[in-house]
Amino acid sequence: MKGNILVISGPSGSGKSSLMNEVLHKFPNACFSISTTTREIREGEVDGVNYHFVSKEEFKNDIDEGFFLEWAKVHDNYYGTSLKPVLKDLHEGKMVIFDIDVQGHKIAKEKLGSLITSVFITTPDQQSLQQRLINRGTDSIEVIQKRLANAVSEMTRMREYDYLLINDNFETTLKDLTAIAYASRKKMSLVDAGEFISAWANVE
């Protein structure tokens, strides 16, 4: 059994981070893929824990060197996933959880499709998403409007995902996401079927 990747996408404010943190606690062999970004660090965030924070120049250099599994430009900033730690974790048989947008998911699926199970998480409607972003209190009205516009664009891509979760009730959504994570570890694409059949047939 190789490692696997659980991709979680959805609009900012949909509750992805809280759900992912809970799932990480439930799976001892799971780890979170820490993204790299050029956006400003927010109050309470820690470099190397929430994100790897770098300059735009450094990010672009790493793109040119091929160091990213996927990357995208969102809200005038770059976000991406470094390839090296992901491959190490997969080799060790871990479940690597990604928090990436729809552009990043498309690129990652092209490169590591057989290892990926993808989930799109959103709110019941646009109004509830807007209210969550306002209640969060971390963004200006202008940024919230940008996030809402981006959410509309992201929603048109949700058919590209394996699962859709409507986060109307946190506990219910968490149960569903946990079940998907368990199932993702049992996908046939992760098994060397030939080796297993040979071992299975060799009965003494």
Rg for the chain (alpha carbons), in Å?
A: 18
pLDDT band at 71 (very low <50, low <70, confident <90, very high): confident
How far is the first Cα of the chain from the last one, in angstroms, to the nearest whole number?
A: 24
Structural contact between residues 38 and 75, judged by C-beta atoms closer than 8 angstroms: no
pTM: 0.79
Burial class of residue 121 in the structure, from the number of CB atoms within 10 Å of its CB (0-12 exposed, 13-18 middle, 19+ buried): buried
Question: For the domain 4-33+95-201, what is the CATH code?
Answer: 3.40.50.300
Q: Which residues of 171-204 are buried (b: 16+ CB within 10 A; e: fewer)?
A: eebbebbeebbeebbeeeebeeeeeeeeeeeeee
pLDDT at residue number 178: 97
**pLDDT score of 201 more than 70:** yes
In the chain, domain spans:
4-33+95-201
Torsion angles phi and psi, residue 163, rounded to 5: -135, 150
Report, as an integer, the average pLDDT of 153-177: 94
pLDDT tens-digit profile of 122-140? 999 988 888 888 888 777 8
Tell me if residue 191 falls in helix, strand or coil: coil
Mean of the per-residue pLDDT values of the chain: 89
Structural contact between residues 130 and 144, judged by C-beta atoms closer than 8 angstroms: yes
Task: Provide the Cα torsion 47, 52, 55, 58; round to 10°.
Answer: 140
**pLDDT score of 70 more than 70:** yes
pLDDT at residue number 204: 55
Q: Which has more pLDDT, 56 or 201?
A: 56
pLDDT at residue number 203: 59
State how far the Cα of 147 lies from the Cα of 122, in Å rounded to an integer: 13
Structural contact between residues 186 and 142, judged by C-beta atoms closer than 8 angstroms: no
